[in-house]
Amino acid sequence: MTSSPLSTLGDETARALAAIEAADELGALDESHATLVGRRSAFVALQRSLGTLAPEERGAAGATLQEARRRVEEAFAARRALLESRERQRRLDADRLDLGDVVVAQVPWRLTLGHPSLVASTQRELEDVFVAMGFKVADGPEVESDWYNFEALNIPPAHPARGMWDTFYVDLGEPETVVLRTHTSPTQIHLMEAAVAGGTLPVHSVMPGRCYRRDTPDARHLAAFHQVEGLVVDRDITFADLAGVIETFTKAYFGEDIDARLRPAYFPFTEPSAEFEITCTICRGAGCRTCSQTGWIELGGCGMLDPAVFDAVGIDPEEWSGFAFGFGIDRCAQMRYQIADMRALIENDVRFLEQFS
Ligand code: PHE
């Protein structure tokens, strides 16, 4: 019996399968395609040798050969798919951007957390001082009618005292005059109206908030600034109560070495009225540019509630008395932190702002 031309088929198939399994790279696998299953493979040579078989044997031998070749082609395709997907994964891994690395390594500035502005934190501290003294905290609108900002405060139209507040007018196309509040005093009117309507007198409240004046900014003034209004309406309130509150507040907020003084002044909505000054903290009273060489800094105004204001809100001045005060929050921050020029508060220079984080 002549040896079959397919006697080496088993070995050739096993060798091809082993070579496919051993191929670790797509390029190498593809290069070996011709020798493993293609033109130069053992299968093509064996195919040719089938011609030496008797015609009746050729069919079965051809089928065996085709079956072996199909198995090798399948193994090749499967290996190729596997290597291809490995290759894709390797590319993805190499291309991945770790954003954490990018932010830390490449962004030139530090990421810093913000903090409340000096004005905001000063407002909070002032509120705390007054809450500790028994006051409640309230607020009110920044856009007011002429009635709340002036008339109810005993400042009728054309009253010469209007010159004390350079006013921004808001043109809403309405007959009523509307203004940006020039002080927090209109909140006095809102609170007293609400207390009368709700039957909740007495009132002991402070009302912090932003105010606006058509002033040219300078070392002590901003066109948009902040005040704290204080209002007490109760029975048997005297000027001594007012002076005591001012004194207590000054020592509590600025420290024992800072003095407060009241000087006679005029406000249409209080009688008597006073200006409230403290020792200039920048020169400690010696006199400097910020206090215009006086040694004192004006913080605000105060006085006993005028009967005309009680009248405007319907409170009986025979039964109730009270006082009000209003002073600058920005001015307090300036004095507390010895800021020679208040405009630094709104210039947003981070070197300045970071000192108060
Ligand atoms: N509203 C006054 C001002 O801003 C200050 C003040 C408040 C005076 C309360 C008396 C009573 O100038």
3-state secondary structure string across 43-82: HHHHHHHHHHCCHHHHHHHHHHHHHHHHHHHHHHHHHHHH
Q: Which atom of ligand 1 is nearest to the CA of 164?
A: 12
Q: Would the pTM count as exceeding 0.75?
A: no
Q: Which of 162, 263, 267 has most ligand 1 atoms within 8 Å of CB, for mutation?
A: 267
Bridge-based pairing of strands 270-279 and 260-267 is antiparallel
Which CATH number, 3.40.50.970, 1.10.10.60, 3.30.930.10, 1.10.3720.10, labels domain 118-356? 3.30.930.10
The SS3 call for residue 298 is strand
Q: Tell me, letter by letter, the H, E, C secondary structure of 156-185.
A: CCCCHHHHHCCCCEECCCCCCCEEECCCCC
Any atom of ligand 1 within 6 Å of the Cβ of 6: no
- What distance in Å separates the CA atoms of residue 15 and residue 259, rounded to the nearest whole number? 103
Q: Which atom of ligand 1 is nearest to the CA of 323?
A: 11
Any atom of ligand 1 within 6 Å of the Cβ of 302: yes
Q: Which of 149, 165, 179, 185 has most ligand 1 atoms within 8 Å of CB, for mutation?
A: 185
Q: What Å distances lie between residue 153 and 137, 141, 305, 329, CA to CA?
A: 21, 16, 10, 22
Q: Which residues pair with 179 in a beta bridge?
A: 144, 169
Any atom of ligand 1 within 6 Å of the Cβ of 246: no
277: part of which helix (H) or strand (E)?
A: strand 270-279
- Can the peptide bond before residue 202 be classed as cis, meaning omega within 30 degrees of 0? yes
Determine phi and psi for 169, rounding to 5 degrees. Answer: -100, 140
Q: Which of 183, 203, 211 has most ligand 1 atoms within 8 Å of CB, for mutation?
A: 183
Any atom of ligand 1 within 6 Å of the Cβ of 270: yes
Q: Which atom of ligand 1 is nearest to the CA of 273?
A: 10
- What distance in Å separates the CA atoms of residue 187 and residue 175, rounded to the nearest whole number? 23
Closest by Cα among 196, 204, 267, 198 to 230: 204
Going from the Cα of 341 to the center of ligand 1, the distance in angstroms, rounded, reads 23
Q: Which atom of ligand 1 is nearest to the CA of 188?
A: 9
Each residue's pLDDT, cut to its tens digit, for the chain (357 residues) gives: 456 778 888 899 999 999 999 999 999 999 999 888 888 888 888 888 888 888 888 888 889 999 999 999 999 999 999 999 999 999 998 888 777 666 665 666 666 778 899 999 999 999 999 999 999 999 999 999 999 999 999 999 989 999 899 999 998 887 899 999 999 999 999 999 999 999 999 999 999 999 999 989 998 899 999 999 999 999 999 999 999 999 999 999 999 989 999 999 999 999 999 999 999 998 999 999 888 999 999 999 999 999 999 999 999 999 999 999 999 999 999 999 999 899 999 998 989 998 998
Q: What Å distances lie between residue 282 and 53, 212, 235, 339, 344, CA to CA?
A: 117, 26, 40, 8, 15
Q: Which atom of ligand 1 is nearest to the CA of 211?
A: 4
Query: Which amino acid residue places its CA nearest to atom 12 of ligand 1?
Result: 301
Going from the Cα of 36 to the center of ligand 1, the distance in angstroms, rounded, reads 100
Q: Which atom of ligand 1 is nearest to the CA of 182?
A: 4
